[in-house]
Amino acid sequence: MAEQRKLELSRWPNGVLSIKGFLDPVGGAALRGALEPLARKSGPDDPRERDQRMADALVELVNQNLKVSLQVTASVETLMGLPGSPAGETEFGLPISAKTIERWACDCSLTRILLEGESTVIDVGRAVRTVKGPRRRALNARDRCCRWPGCDRPARLTAGHHLVHWASGGTSDLDNQVLLCHRHHWMVHEGGWQLVSGDGGRLLSIPPPTRFRTYVRGPD
């Protein structure tokens, strides 16, 4: 049955990707074995149903293997977050928001291509921001897991996050970095949540102003 494996990826005009496929029992078991640990609820405030958690687990699994290099093409207006600015693009031509670029750039090697107007290249540069080596080992030893209040996702399933992003003047010191799992890293950047330091080094998660639901922030 392994010879009958199929995987079809269909891209919609808005960038959404539809996935359709068939795996043999061994391949299917391998995929489920990789996804199930990532699909667990990430704390008591996780409202996601299982199908969403499985989809998020697949994205997280892929991101773990792609945290090497990133090429982004964007206008200066996009990186500044100006209203009406066009979306950036990955090397595969997929649209990407400034907030997603910011999240990826927390822990990756970023190749930037800045455009002025329609297609004039005004800057090509490379900024290595990967949290690795001794710095990563120090973060793992200090945090041990995702630092989002109530989340226990182990350090090996997390990425380095800058509390004050380096693009906004934040440093690469350990005091400005924490470990976050994929879901909570997304919530801080694209989701509009804030993660701030409280008394005694505790971290507080603050929901966006438009959220009216009460969220658990962990023990006070």
Return the H-helix or E-strand segment holding 1: none
List the beta bridge partners of residue 21. 7
Name residue 142's amino acid: R
**Per-domain residue ranges for the chain?**
2-65, 70-128, 133-206
CA dihedral 219, 182, 128, 155 (to 10 degrees): 60
pTM of the prediction? Answer: 0.58
Residue 212 has pLDDT above 60, yes or no: no
Instruction: Return d(Cα 174, Cα 196) in angstroms, integer.
Output: 15
List, for residues 12-70, the tens digit of each pLDDT value.
Answer: 888 788 999 999 988 899 999 999 988 998 888 888 999 999 999 998 888 776 554 55
Q: In this predicted structure, what is the pLDDT of residue 159?
A: 86
Return the H-helix or E-strand segment holding 186: helix 182-189
Q: In this predicted structure, what is the pLDDT of residue 42?
A: 84
Q: Residues 81, 183, 82, CA angle at the centre, nearest 5°?
A: 5
Q: In this predicted structure, what is the pLDDT of residue 105?
A: 67
Mean pLDDT (whole number) for 104-113: 61
Residue 104 has pLDDT above 80, yes or no: no
